[in-house]
Amino acid sequence: MLRRHLAGFALLGAPALIRPARAAEERLVLDLKDGPVIIQLLPDVAPRHVERIKTLAGRGFYDGTPFHRVIEGFMAQGGDPTGTGTGGSDLPNLPAEFTDKYRFLRGVCGMARTSDPNSANSQFFIMFGPAPNLDRQYTVWGRVVSGMEAVDKIKRGTGAGGVVQNPDKLLRARVAAA
């Protein structure tokens, strides 16, 4: 089962690698209505973005926030306390941390932003499937290593924008070591 989850997270141009579990400080747990999701954080790839996710999770910022934009076969986006897709935290925006090392495949977590590459703040997304058009255009900060079945059950939105009416919520986000 773990191999199936990790198979979607490959090095660019190489087969997927299974690495030993990292320390609890490098795992994020998202409690969803259908169960927990464990995300392996990637501080070696996106140190500022990982630190932001950990900081906001530690503050309880993500608790109760909706998955406001969910597109079948593409991704589920959350992290906006307003639920409109326009909100963020009170912290400054982050500079892009793009990488050639990882691709946007099933289970990969990226940071949402505006058209400005340096505008990521609190919103994030989890991929349902591959999206090569996002590679080297958005910051990869983690990957789901357990619980993708709970992500798959997040309520989908409608229309091209994937806006969700009465969206599912992220019940709680926490660093595993906390």
Write the pLDDT tens digit of every residue in 154-172: 999 998 899 999 999 999 9
For residues 141-167, one letter each, b for 16 or more C-beta atoms within 10 angstroms of the residue's C-beta and e for the rest, the string is: bbbbbbbbebbeebebbeeeebbbeeb
- What pLDDT is stored for residue 22 in this prediction? 53
Which residue ranges form the domains of the chain, and what is each CATH number? 2-9+24-175 (2.40.100.10)
Retrieve residue 116's tokens: 């400005």
Retrieve residue 165's tokens: 């009416």
Give the C-alpha separation, 101 to 11, whole Å. 6
Q: Are strands 140-146 and 124-127 parallel, antiparallel or unpaired?
A: unpaired
- Residues 5-12 have a mean pLDDT of 40
